Amino acid sequence: MTSQMDSLRSNTPQDVRERIAGPHLEAWVNPEPAGRYQLAILGAGPAGLVAAETAAAHGVKVALIERRLLGGTCLNTGCVPSKAIIRTSRLYAEMRDALRYGAQVPDGVRVDFAAVMERVRRIRTHLGQRGSARQLAAAGVDVFFGDARFSGVDTLTIDGIKLGFDKALIATGARPDVPSIPGLAAAGYLTNENVFDVTELPKRLLVIGGGPIGCEQAQAFARLGAHTTIVQNKPLFLAKEERDAAQILSVALARDGVEVRLNTNVLGVRIVAGEKQVDLVSDDYKNTITVDAILTGVGRLPNVEGLNLESAGVEYDIDKGVRVDDFLRTSNRRIYAAGDVCLENKYGHTAAVSAQMAVRNALLHSRERLSELVIPWCTFTDPEIAHVGVYVREANQRGIPVKTFTIQMHEVDRAITDSEEAGFVKIHVREGTDQILGATIVARHAGDMINEITLAMVANIGLRTLARVIHTYDTQAEAIQKAAQAYERTHLRTAPR
């Protein structure tokens, strides 16, 4: 084990150690398995928790099995701690930019990193109280801590103890993929699983991967004072987003002092005089940087190993996860899956909504289809990058004619008064109609703004109606109304008399 990992261990704060020890500290005693369960749920992340609550609310006899911490990735090592650290990093960025707002910040603004991380953990603990084992038990859920694995088509074991089920839901989530870079393991690296437990700010940080994890954390750590380099092996960040959105993000990261290295690969890592030296290559240009810590965010792998899925007749793929049909049913008709373990869209909200669907389909005779969901997402950089529905390139591939209405944020009064002018609202409609097919929003609060477009899509509200919906002045969401009004103007010009 490396010195970095050793120091991480010894630096691991007490509350984290307690959380890892988890239920044992609370002296949790697993219940005796009570006969056959109507629903057994493997994994208690957002998918498993929502499934348990939904099932229990319908009076279903349900067992929920978690091998580590209730709340899964989202609460413990994902959405919640990442958003908490991002918030404080924004505050420091605003203090840095105070002059732009006509404000004076007293000299010597100093980042108290330990306090930043203490807040992150406090918020995590606070939110963790919501779905505690005791609350779940009070709602009628039998909560088991232990490693679940199938032992047949309708049985599983929890650390050797047998449990029978009528239906089961696999909600075991995903874990970080780790790039196979020579010397990386020996030098030591962080992933989302331990980066939020760090108590000392690394002076020099290398982030490998320019997806949501890499971009969010590179910006946050840079704003908190780490000299940060981000390496992305593709020409742009956030590979699936629109080019102009990703370009704005590159500029924003550079503005925050992040060294942006696109089209770059890591050749190897070595320890020299106690420091991590990392060899990089961009096209033919090679160079070496020295850092104190390395954070990887190069994608997620579904947790399918160790579940003995073969014994249950559940088909899966090591990279793509459990194979499900449009109703979230696996190749074993008794067993369903939800969340990161089976979905391409790996988000907290998708995990939760797919779990509700799976429970209703499995137990309440519903026939809800995954393909009918309208799923938005947002990368919480500054500016945020949010999307819902189709991208233009997808529409082109599918032969759907689209027309796009774009409003730049610098045309919106509130973005100007807030000095938050970077970004745009782009809404795509089916050509010749006002039917919204998709949208991308790049704005400081894009994650909140995209919900209006999602609502419109779900409720079949077209741009004509959005143009007439009164939007509060002064809000950045006015950009959406302006885009809708741009549609109306085109329509007026082309409408027959």
Ligand X SMILES: Cc1cc2nc3c(=O)[nH]c(=O)nc-3n(C[C@H](O)[C@H](O)[C@H](O)COP(=O)(O)OP(=O)(O)OC[C@H]3O[C@@H](n4cnc5c(N)ncnc54)[C@H](O)[C@@H]3O)c2cc1C
Binding site listing for NAD(+): 209-216, 299
Q: Identify how many contiguous H helices and E strands the chain contains and give both numbers.
A: 17, 23
Residues 69-98 that bind ligand X (CB under 6 A): 69, 72-74, 78-79, 82-83
Q: Is residue 208 a contact residue for ligand NAD (CB under 6 A)?
A: yes
Question: Dihedral, CA atoms, 80, 130, 141, 192, nearest 10 degrees?
Answer: 20
CB of 208 to ligand NAD, least distance (A): 5
> Helix or strand or coil: residue 19?
helix
Span interacting with ligand X, options 93-101, 287-295, 338-346, 483-491, rule CB under 6 A: 338-346
User: For ligand X, which residue of 173, 209, 210, 383 counts as binding (CB under 6 A)?
Assistant: 173
83 or 414: CB nearest ligand NAD: 83
Q: Is residue 42 a contact residue for ligand X (CB under 6 A)?
A: yes
Question: From the list ligand X, ligand NAD, none, which binds 463 (C-beta under 5 to 8 Å, kind-based)?
Answer: none
Question: From the list ligand NAD, ligand X, none, which binds 234 (C-beta under 5 to 8 Å, kind-based)?
Answer: ligand NAD
Question: From the list ligand X, ligand NAD, none, which binds 298 (C-beta under 5 to 8 Å, kind-based)?
Answer: ligand NAD
# binding residues, ligand NAD (CB under 6 A): 26
Beta strand residue intervals within 212-258, DSSP E = 227-231
User: For ligand NAD, which residue of 143, 266, 352, 363 counts as binding (CB under 6 A)?
Assistant: 266
In 72-138, alpha helices (H): 72-76, 79-96, 113-128, 133-138
Could you give the CA distance from residue 407 to residue 399 in angstroms, rounded to a whole number? 25
218 or 312: CB nearest ligand NAD: 218
188 or 209: CB nearest ligand X: 209
* Burial class of residue 277 (count of CB atoms within 10 Å of its CB; 0-12, 13-18, 19+): middle
Q: Is residue 184 a contact residue for ligand X (CB under 6 A)?
A: no
Closest CA to 412 of 395, 425, 401: 425
Span interacting with ligand X, options 107-115, 302-310, 424-432, 476-484, rule CB under 6 A: 302-310
Q: Is residue 192 a contact residue for ligand X (CB under 6 A)?
A: yes
Q: Is residue 24 a contact residue for ligand NAD (CB under 6 A)?
A: no
46 or 423: CB nearest ligand X: 46
Largest pairwise CA distance in the chain: 79
Tell me, rounded to whole angstroms, the distance of Cα 423 from its chain centroid. 21
Q: Is residue 172 a contact residue for ligand X (CB under 6 A)?
A: yes
DSSP state of 33: P
> Inter-axis angle of helices 212-223 and 79-96, to 10 degrees?
40
Contact 2, 189 (CB under 8 A): no
Q: Is residue 174 a contact residue for ligand X (CB under 6 A)?
A: yes
What Cα–Cα distance (Å) separates residue 495 from each residue in 115, 462, 489? 60, 17, 10
Q: Is residue 188 a contact residue for ligand X (CB under 6 A)?
A: no
CB of 378 to ligand NAD, least distance (A): 6
Binding mask 215-254 for ligand NAD (x = CB under 6 A): -x--------------xxxx----x---------------
Please state the three-class secondary structure of 445-456 as a single string: CHHHHHHHHHHH
Kindly give the pairing relationship between strand 384-389 and strand 285-291. unpaired
Q: Is residue 46 a contact residue for ligand NAD (CB under 6 A)?
A: no
* Burial class of residue 237 (count of CB atoms within 10 Å of its CB; 0-12, 13-18, 19+): buried
CB of 98 to ligand X, least distance (A): 27
378 or 463: CB nearest ligand NAD: 378
113 or 196: CB nearest ligand X: 196
Kindly give the pairing relationship between strand 335-337 and strand 161-170. parallel
User: For ligand X, which residue of 23, 43, 209, 383 counts as binding (CB under 6 A)?
Assistant: 43
Q: Is residue 212 a contact residue for ligand NAD (CB under 6 A)?
A: yes
What Cα–Cα distance (Å) separates residue 463 from each residue in 405, 427, 434, 436, 482? 10, 9, 5, 7, 10
Q: Is residue 356 a contact residue for ligand X (CB under 6 A)?
A: no
DSSP state of 100: G
CB of 380 to ligand X, least distance (A): 6
Could you give the CA distance from residue 68 to residue 172 in angstroms, rounded to a whole number? 11
Q: Is residue 299 a contact residue for ligand NAD (CB under 6 A)?
A: yes
Sequence-ordered list of residues with C-beta below 8 angstroms from that of 201, at least 6 positions apart, any chain? 111, 113, 221, 224, 225, 226
Token pair, residue 291, equals 């850092």
User: For ligand NAD, which residue of 316, 377, 424, 487 counts as binding (CB under 6 A)?
Assistant: 377
User: For ligand X, which residue of 150, 189, 316, 347 counts as binding (CB under 6 A)?
Assistant: 347
97 or 305: CB nearest ligand X: 305
Site residues (vs ligand X, CB under 6 A): 42-48, 65-69, 72-74, 78-79, 82-83, 147-148, 171-174, 192, 213, 303, 306-307, 339-341, 346-349, 351, 380
Site residues (vs ligand NAD, CB under 6 A): 179, 208-214, 216, 231-234, 239, 265-266, 297-300, 346-347, 377-380
